[in-house]
Amino acid sequence: MVLYFYSMHEQGPIGVFDSGYGGLTVLKEIVNKLPQYDYLYMGDNARAPYGTRSFETVYHYTLEAVQWFFKQGCPLVILACNTASAKALRTIQQNDLPKMNGSRRVLGVIRPTTEIIGNYSQTKNVGVLGTKGTVLSNSYPIEMEKFYPGIRVFQQACPMWVPLIENNEHRSKGADFFVEEYIDALLQQSPKIDTILLACTHYPLLIDKIKQFVPASTQVVSQGEIVANSLKDYLQRHAEMEKSCTKNGKLAFYTTDSIDDFDNQAGVFFGKKVNSMHLDLSAQ
Ligand code: DGL
């Protein structure tokens, strides 16, 4: 494996990770906001979806990915996957990072989102749509309570949405059934929900359909821009880390599955054509 961006000064691109394509919706917003940096995206498509997998499995897969990003010289890795952020981030930060090169960092998408999402809601009743793994972890209610004490958080797992999106069926009539089903199940939990957070990086692809089944007064929020703003703020507050991030405006994409499939699908998420390279994580 070529150490594509490796530098003697421990400088490198910002790593962005997802189980598959979803993290590209976050990368797109990050690149819009911070185009000067280099980015290395990796989607573990061969092992996606993560949303239905156990804690141990998601942790193990995510740790392998983080180790690969570090080998490529990334000083900072963003887990642009709620499931990985919910199930693996804390253990990696607390147990694994201290044993590795101490200056490298791994950040997730849940904390930056929960810091701000309470401000979107007038009624302080927020709905969260995510994978089964994210919902069962209870990460969103726990974190939101810290930033907005007393806030009411209602969750709904949407296990059919990622397969529909990954198979490019999200615009089909068949998708309507599952969108309506999960939205109804969420809204039945409280008539006061005025904000719905898409807590899975795949779901922005369904946002138009979701809005069809939600009252006009209820806002539907995707987290890409929130995460991008938070990363900008983080780099402003951490000068050493900022210096470690190379700035040539380069992008590289890796997938653990077929590059043809990735390149055909990725543009839908990223908004631009993508040329990926193959990665065999088991050979690392
Ligand atoms: N995109 C991932 C997330 O944000 C989940 C997709 C999956 O189930 O692998 O949670």
**What CATH number did the domain enclosing 92 receive?**
3.40.50.1860
Determine the pLDDT at residue 270: 97
Tokens of 62: 């995510």
Among residues 222, 246, 275, the one where a domain terminates is 222
The answer to whether position 115 is within a domain reads yes
128 beta partners: 155, 197
Q: How far is CA 12 from CA 19, 80, 250, 267, in A?
A: 22, 18, 11, 25
CA of 201 to the centre of ligand 1 (A): 6
Whether 79 and 16 have beta carbons less than 8 Å apart is answered as no
Q: Provide the H-helix boundaries in 167-256.
A: 173-187, 207-212, 224-237, 239-244
**Please, what sign has the CA dihedral across residues 184, 185, 191, 192?**
negative
The DSSP H or E segment spanning 198 is strand 195-198
Among residues 222, 246, 271, the one where a domain terminates is 222
Please give the chain's pLDDT, 284 residues, in tens. Answer: 444 444 445 799 999 999 999 999 999 999 999 999 999 999 999 999 999 999 999 999 999 999 999 999 999 999 999 999 999 999 999 999 999 867 999 999 999 999 999 999 999 999 999 999 999 999 999 999 999 999 999 999 999 999 999 888 999 999 999 999 999 999 999 999 999 999 999 999 999 999 999 999 999 999 999 999 999 999 999 999 999 999 999 999 999 999 999 999 999 999 999 999 999 987 77
Together in a domain, 190 and 232: no
Together in a domain, 217 and 150: yes
CA of 239 to the centre of ligand 1 (A): 31
Among residues 195, 222, 249, the one where a domain terminates is 222
The answer to whether position 4 is within a domain reads no
Residues annotated as part of the active site: 81, 200
Determine the pLDDT at residue 2: 46
CA of 133 to the centre of ligand 1 (A): 9
The answer to whether position 6 is within a domain reads no
The answer to whether position 5 is within a domain reads no
Residue 249 region by backbone torsions, left for phi larger than 0, else alpha for psi between -120 and 50, else beta? left
* pTM of structure: 0.94
| Pocket lining: 134 vs ligand 1, CB cutoff 6 Å | yes
CA of 50 to the centre of ligand 1 (A): 6
The answer to whether position 73 is within a domain reads yes
Together in a domain, 90 and 135: no
Cα(147)–Cα(267) distance, integer angstroms: 35
Pick from 41, 129, 131 the residue to mutate for probing ligand 1's pocket: most ligand atoms within 8 Å of its CB: 131
| Pocket lining: 197 vs ligand 1, CB cutoff 6 Å | no
Together in a domain, 86 and 149: no
| Pocket lining: 24 vs ligand 1, CB cutoff 6 Å | no
- DSSP state, residue 96: I
Determine the pLDDT at residue 142: 98
The answer to whether position 1 is within a domain reads no
Determine the pLDDT at residue 10: 78
The answer to whether position 253 is within a domain reads yes
The answer to whether position 8 is within a domain reads no
Together in a domain, 188 and 201: yes
Domain that holds residue 209: 111-222
Determine the pLDDT at residue 7: 42
Together in a domain, 202 and 245: no
| Pocket lining: 84 vs ligand 1, CB cutoff 6 Å | no
Determine the pLDDT at residue 42: 98
